[in-house]
Structure 1
Amino acid sequence: MGKPNDPKYQKKVIRAAFNLLEAKSGPVLEDFSDVIPVKHGRMGYALPVDLVTKVSEIGDVDQLLEEVEAEVSSLHSAYVSGKAFRGRTTVGASEMPIKELPNFIAAFVKGQKPNSPRKGVTAIPQLKLVVEDLNAYYTEARMYEDNIDDFEILGKWFWEESKAGKLILALEAVSLESEDKVLRQIVEMSLITPRFWSEGPLPGTSASGW
């Protein structure tokens, strides 16, 4: 709500919302007085349409996994410091240790379906939460380390430059060719990669999420 990493401004937005309760009649629909700049008509990053990994391009998954694990380790200090600085974190939806997230994703890339460690949550819904946690971990670490709050920059770094982004794009490629209908569907609905606001549907999909 409001600008990222700007608690003072976010409180301003919340106060404006609470002020609506003082209206003598309702319902009330009122625009916020400030205009928050949005890049290219979006509130966040979206993958370029042509950034698509093919299954034939994935290569050695174990090597890629090792590279992601090394990245995760290198970001740990910045993540912990950022969490302490903000007093909160968005990581934790999967309820899995951060160091276990890459391996869970890699198992799907290898064509496996690992058991979910959580009762009542099956493997594929858990996969979505794992991807979200890994993305959040990288984002929070980079935001603190380099004092960045531009989600276009953060998104480009994660999805186009990091090994973790490469791993998830490999997951997307494998999922689109999977016989598992649910796995294909969560990819086509942009629940794994941020393609929902791209310029067009992912090549080879039914675009059911559009």
Structure 2
Amino acid sequence: MWVPFELGHPLGAPDNPEFQRRVLLDLLNLFDRPSGPVLEDFPDDEPESNVEVVLACPVNYSDYYKEIGEADSRLKALNMEISGMRSWYDMAVSKRNRTTVGVSGIEIERIGEFIYSFMKGEEPENPRDDISLPYTLKLAVEDLKSYYVEGITTQPGQSGVSSQIISDWFWGETVAGKVLLDLKKVCEKSEDRMMAMMGAHFIVPGDVARRNQE
């Protein structure tokens, strides 16, 4: 079943169990069809709230990031932002008793340094011996995004916020989003075929990349 939601949110907005249940039931109902294969579109977009939602990072270094050019200073801005999100992330884990962060095998405090090493043309040590370095980078990117999303959606009043609002916030207002947009460009130029593929398809969602093309 095709769904019109952002990549990474196959059931729609997080913390909206009623809507997510609808998506799952529509999918399961396809198994009742007498023949297949079957591919159908989910008929609805995510429900929009009448309440104006404003997401705010606990610390805001995004403007500072744009003004500085030195790699080490930009890494410092990213690390400060990651540190500033920590209390909200910890609250999210405590509240939900689960997290999707950690698939890369890299501690969140070290993810900024790991990701930024690629920006500086370095090749860091791969913390996982079962997958290639480009794929570990992909998982590190997913960990970073999940860390921010889980943290921001546990703030008061953010339950059920749409994935589009989350996406606009992450890619438009955080240092992490700007770092990943820059990382995409670096990886796309890599001579390593797998790394170039990661940059082209897996670091930044296609719609976000198109909006940020110069």
Fold shared, TM-score > 0.5 on shorter chain? yes
Measured after TM superposition, the shift of residue 11 of structure 1 is: 3.3
Q: Is the Cα–Cα contact under 8 Å of residues 13 and 162 in structure 2 kept in the other structure?
A: no
- Which residue of the other structure, out of 129, 134, 156, is the alignment partner of 2:144? 134
| TM-score (structure 2 length as normaliser) | 0.71
Q: Is the Cα–Cα contact under 8 Å of residues 12 and 163 in structure 2 kept in the other structure?
A: no
Q: Is the Cα–Cα contact under 8 Å of residues 195 and 202 in structure 1 kept in the other structure?
A: no
In 2: Cα distance, 1:178 partner to 1:27 partner: 41
Runs of 5+ unmatched residues, structure 1: 40-56, 204-210
In 2: Cα distance, 1:30 partner to 1:193 partner: 26
Q: Does 1:124 align with 2:134?
A: yes
Structure 1 runs (4+) deviating above 4 angstroms are 15-21, 23-34, 196-203
Q: Which residue of 2 aligns with 1:51?
A: none
Mapping 1:164-183, distance limit 5 Å:
164-183=176-195
Measured after TM superposition, the shift of residue 69 of structure 1 is: 0.9
The residue type paired with residue 6 of structure 1 is N
Q: Is the Cα–Cα contact under 8 Å of residues 13 and 32 in structure 1 kept in the other structure?
A: no
How big is the alpha-carbon RMSD for the aligned residues of Structure 1 and Structure 2? Answer: 3.1
Percent identity over paired residues: 32
- Which residue of the other structure, out of 84, 97, 113, is the alignment partner of 1:74? 84
Q: Secondary structure at the match of 1:127?
A: helix
Q: Secondary structure at the match of 1:10?
A: helix
In 1: Cα distance, 2:193 partner to 2:24 partner: 41
Q: Does 1:35 align with 2:44?
A: yes
- Which residue of the other structure, out of 69, 86, 96, is the alignment partner of 1:86? 96
In 1: Cα distance, 2:121 partner to 2:144 partner: 20
| TM-score (structure 1 length as normaliser) | 0.72
Distance verdict in 2 for CA 1:16–1:201, change over 3 Å: closer
Runs of 5+ unmatched residues, structure 2: 1-10, 49-66
